[in-house]
Structure 1
């Protein structure tokens, strides 16, 4: 569905995207990477809110560099930015309705039905008449997700979508996004490796504007195979380790004395792959 070819974006003397090549199809694709890796810049280019300095994006056969095709592409995508802007004196319903008007849903009755649908999807029906300024942080994040779902977009772009969500809300989000990934392309950026492990069929790890890993969460975990250890005593302080809930010590890297191996997770693979950059 979406192909990125030799994409570059520069801020001053630093490349946020450094010749990135990527193809994304139906399903949920997760982007991982340290701060400054280029994840948000990539999502903004896909969402047509930022023009790259070089390279190209092709989405559904449309070229966002062309104004007419860019408008056609925007009709087919939903976007949740990292820092969504809100009008604090709007109600939740009015805010989503306003975005629906911008997305050219002109029939009032059909538009309001669609607004009610997406509010229900994110469990905000009861807060439809509440002003945005009175909503909690988690509710505002769900409201931002609701506007991205308007019109059942073919491409859903989500930047840090689970920020501020409690465990129950995170479970609701996973249910919703996994269902959407069955029939459309979902690309999400996150620092939550547990979301990637739970949701994504595919994970891309970015570093300095390039993709340094592209595979399944299981394949990312295997990057740390043979490098995750459990011991009853604390290893030397120079190692990467932490004390677990059962009082043992989990170490990533070389084997400490009297330690035994344990199965790696997505976070272990990510930390091993990026080393100090993580």
Structure 2
């Protein structure tokens, strides 16, 4: 794998709480999914990669640049796009005005060229017909698409997306997947999500974090393989296991020990993810 981002022994603490615990990670071209329970450190890692948060220890090298050095950090910011988990908006701006303002911050100084770029990214996220709409009048899904449009300005080489499909309806999520899969053909995309189906649909590689550490790094198929021989379908619910649920056909899917009358099932990414996390996954389930 050609490496475009290197993370070495990255650490971040808030008081006595360690949020990132000496994280090592390599990223290359294509789409990488980042999974993990709430509090795993995913957003903190993304903020460090996006240069909005400085780590306490360790280092990052992205696109050949070191964000710990001021000049190189500025150069890196010109080449990355970032969609934060909670993007801020100016509600009285129109959609076009807000995207144009962000484009100015990204140093797109030629007015005609900048406006062409703004129209391009709004079209990419299906907001061209909302260009004159005030941000305060947008639905949650439209605001999320506007945040994605801002991340796409200036055609970044590194794209960092934190929960980008929140608020999107099924059709919008399909369009998002098509867009991101196309973007991943020519750049590095890191996508943090709780949706394992997005990882299955989009990502060549997947990283799982828990407790501030990387606990898995591999392909989606390898993550599903963590649950090989531990996924069962039965007519009755198991006893003594919290990792089971009733499926749409009225049967039960169990992870772990074979329940009475259970038959083997093909493991999915979600199965491997839940078994990998163990007790925290049981609480989440």
Q: TM-score, normalised by structure 1?
A: 0.99
- 19-28 or 239-248: which moved more? 239-248
Q: How many angstroms apart in 2 are the aligned matches of 1:264 and 1:238? A: 17
Q: How many angstroms apart in 2 are the aligned matches of 1:35 and 1:67? A: 31
Partner SS state of residue 146, structure 2:
helix
Question: What is the CA deviation profile of residues 5-31 of structure 1, one whole-angstrom value per residue up to 9, with x for unaligned ones?
Answer: 111000111111111111111000111
Answering whether residue 148 of structure 2 is matched by residue 137 of structure 1, we say: no
Q: How many angstroms apart in 2 are the aligned matches of 1:37 and 1:238? A: 24
The residue aligned with 2:118 is 115
Matches within 5 A, 1:36-75: 36-75=39-78
The correspondence for 1:276, drawn from 270, 276, 279, is 279
Answering whether residue 41 of structure 2 is matched by residue 33 of structure 1, we say: no
Partner SS state of residue 158, structure 1:
strand
Matches within 5 A, 1:1-278: 1-236=4-239, 238-278=241-281
Q: Is the 8 A contact 1:159 1:188 kept in 2?
A: yes
Q: How many angstroms apart in 2 are the aligned matches of 1:239 and 1:10? A: 33
User: How much has 1:227 moved relative to structure 2?
Assistant: 0.9
Question: What is the CA deviation profile of residues 89-108 of structure 1, one whole-angstrom value per residue up to 9, with x for unaligned ones?
Answer: 11111000000000000000
Q: How many angstroms apart in 1 are the aligned matches of 2:34 and 2:280? A: 16
Q: TM-score, normalised by structure 2?
A: 0.96
User: How much has 1:266 moved relative to structure 2?
Assistant: 0.4
Q: How many angstroms apart in 1 are the aligned matches of 2:240 and 2:247? A: 16
User: How much has 1:235 moved relative to structure 2?
Assistant: 1.9
Q: Is the 8 A contact 1:239 1:253 kept in 2?
A: no
Q: How many angstroms apart in 2 are the aligned matches of 1:49 and 1:257? A: 52
Partner SS state of residue 5, structure 1:
strand
User: How much has 1:234 moved relative to structure 2?
Assistant: 2.0
Unaligned runs of 5+ in 1: none
- Corresponding pairs, count: 278
Q: Is the 8 A contact 1:203 1:214 kept in 2?
A: yes
Q: How many angstroms apart in 2 are the aligned matches of 1:221 and 1:270? A: 7
User: How much has 1:238 moved relative to structure 2?
Assistant: 3.5
- 235-244 or 178-187: which moved more? 235-244
Q: How many angstroms apart in 2 are the aligned matches of 1:28 and 1:238? A: 34
Q: Is the 8 A contact 1:77 1:154 kept in 2?
A: yes
Partner SS state of residue 20, structure 2:
strand
Partner SS state of residue 9, structure 2:
strand
User: How much has 1:208 moved relative to structure 2?
Assistant: 1.2
Q: How many angstroms apart in 2 are the aligned matches of 1:163 and 1:142? A: 10
